[in-house]
Amino acid sequence: MSRRGHARGAVVLVAIGALTLGLTCSAFVPPAHQTSQPRLQTLPAAQKTSALALAGLVPLALAPDASVAQGWEMAVVGPLGLINAGLNLFKTALGIYALMSWLFAFGIIDFRNEIVQKIQGVLSSIIDPVLAPLRGIIPPLAGFDISFMVLWFVIEQAQAAAVTIMFGAATYGNYYY
């Protein structure tokens, strides 16, 4: 923040402090044993509320650089970390799915095996709903289905974006002049 910004913050702080002090001091009622001075009336509830509201703005005037939003980093990093972990799991399942399809195509594994059928069924139920729209758009290239490679690339880009956002949130405000 520039010096002009600090000066403005100081002016705002002084103005708020003076206003708050003026409103609260005018509500001062001297003790009963000092009857020589006239008693001042207390402030109405609306003025007390506005004085307290102005006093609550003091931290904002002292540090106007997002003092209200301190700790927001974990609200960004936490969910994006979960999304990143989920994408890693999906990418792993996609790799196993692709590897199994190649092993089946070359006759290395057999889908008559009960364990292979169960694994393929679980992976198909997870991956086929995502691959189906891509398969409708991307035609096979020389007989090879490349839609899973496109999906892998999209997941990689989503993870790179998530990691960039998490790194930016984790290092926000840690800059040096």
pLDDT in tens, 113-124: 899 999 999 999
Which residues are CB-contacts of 18 (< 8 A; sequence separation ≥ 6)? none
Tens-digit pLDDT profile for residues 110-160: 888 899 999 999 999 999 999 999 999 998 888 888 898 999 999 999 999
Query: pLDDT over 70 for what percent of the chain?
Result: 57
Lowest mean pLDDT segment, chosen from 101-115, 128-142, 163-177: 163-177
Assign 75 a pLDDT band (cuts: 50, 70, 90). confident
Only one residue has tokens 């009857």, namely 35
pLDDT at 144: 81
User: What are the tens digits of pLDDT across the range 33-49?
Assistant: 555 555 445 556 556 55
Token pair, residue 98, equals 């692709």
32 has a pLDDT exceeding 60: no
Decide: helix, strand or coil at residue 42.
coil
pTM of the complete model:
0.56
Query: How much is the pLDDT for 91?
Result: 95
CA distances for 167 relative to 27, 69, 76, 77, 174, angstroms: 51, 18, 10, 8, 11
In the chain, % helix, strand, coil (3-state, to 5) comes to 70, 0, 30
Q: Is the pLDDT of residue 51 over 90?
A: no
Cα separation, 105 vs 67, in Å, equals 60
